[in-house]
Amino acid sequence: MKDYEEITSFLGEWGPFQKVIFLLLSLSSIPNGYVGMAMVFLADIPPHRCRIPQLNFSGFGLDLNYSIPLQEVKGEVILSRCTRFKQQLDSATGFGNETEGCLDGWEFSKEQYSDRVGSGV
């Protein structure tokens, strides 16, 4: 049986061309690792809600029922992630029945993750 060097002898020696090709192929494979690992850090979206500047805490409490509408998602009733009640100064709670988008950003739950790339929005 022929050994490896006998079989590949027709290719020639390891010269500058082979070094350049090896370098270019190695450099092109580096971004593949980043793409593969990006899903670990970017795929999951933690529970979140609209930020309400009048509420000076970062928790998910009973006061949020007056400021964030509830919605049903997959059979579970949760706080809306993208809307909040429009503030009305003439009502008892300060919030009416009209909704608006998240104008002041979002509050992310820190129960599962303490800090992540997606929560910096």
Per residue in 104-119, pLDDT (tens digit) is 888 888 887 766 555 5
- Asked if residues 28 and 45 have their Cβ atoms less than 8 Å apart, the reply is no
- Asked if residues 84 and 68 have their Cβ atoms less than 8 Å apart, the reply is yes
Q: Whole-model pTM?
A: 0.53
Per residue in 3-55, pLDDT (tens digit) is 888 888 888 888 899 899 999 999 988 888 888 888 877 888 888 888 887 77
* Token pair belonging to 101: 């988008």
